[in-house]
Structures are given as structure tokens and as C-alpha cells.
Amino acid sequence: MPGRIYPNEKKKLLKMLAKEDLAIIKKDYPYKRLRDAKIHELGQKGVSYTILAELTGLSKSTVHRLGQTGKNARTSKVKKYKNPLMKFLGL
């Protein structure tokens, strides 16, 4: 649990981030790709996903997915066909 190891992490993160950055990572920010990129950047820097979830208003699983992959897609929408005949038949 991040709160036990680093109890002041949220305070330090709030001091570190500018007001514009805090506005960007909020759930209701209109440009989702910019928000997702900023969350990914913070996740790669080692910020706890639990703390990011508290600050953003998003769920922990969504923040973790954004922090790991940089996008909010769970699965690919493109089907990968093993056989060209399967593609032709649409199976």
C-alpha cells in the first residue's frame, strides 16, 4: 500500500505539479489524449497509481492501464486472422 511506505506522496506530488498539469489530469479534461499522455508520463516517473486515481477522479484500474500502456484501450478492435480464407469469409 503506497500510503504506508510514502505517507506524504500526495502532498509532494501536489507541490511538484503546476496548476495546469493538475487541470490536465482531471477526469473532465476535454482533451483525453493529452490527459492520458500526462498520466502515462507520471506513471513512468514512478508516481503511485492510487495517488493518481485520487487526484484524477478516474478508477484505479483505468489509471493503471493508462500508466502502463499510455492509452485507454482494453483490447484491439482489429481482428487478427490466421488464415486469409477466414478473412474472406469474415469469420
Model confidence at 76: pLDDT above 60? no
Model confidence at 78: pLDDT above 80? no
Structural domain boundaries in the chain: 2-73
CB atoms within 10 A of CB 79: 9
Mean pLDDT, the chain, whole residue set: 82
pLDDT digits (tens, 9 = 90+) for 24-65: 999 999 999 999 999 999 998 888 899 999 999 999 989 998
Asked whether the whole model's pTM tops 0.75, one would answer no
Take residue 14 and report the three cell numbers written for it. 501536489
- Whose cell is 498539469? That residue is 21
pLDDT recorded at residue 80 = 64
Q: What CA–CA distance (Å, rounded) separates 35 from 7?
A: 25
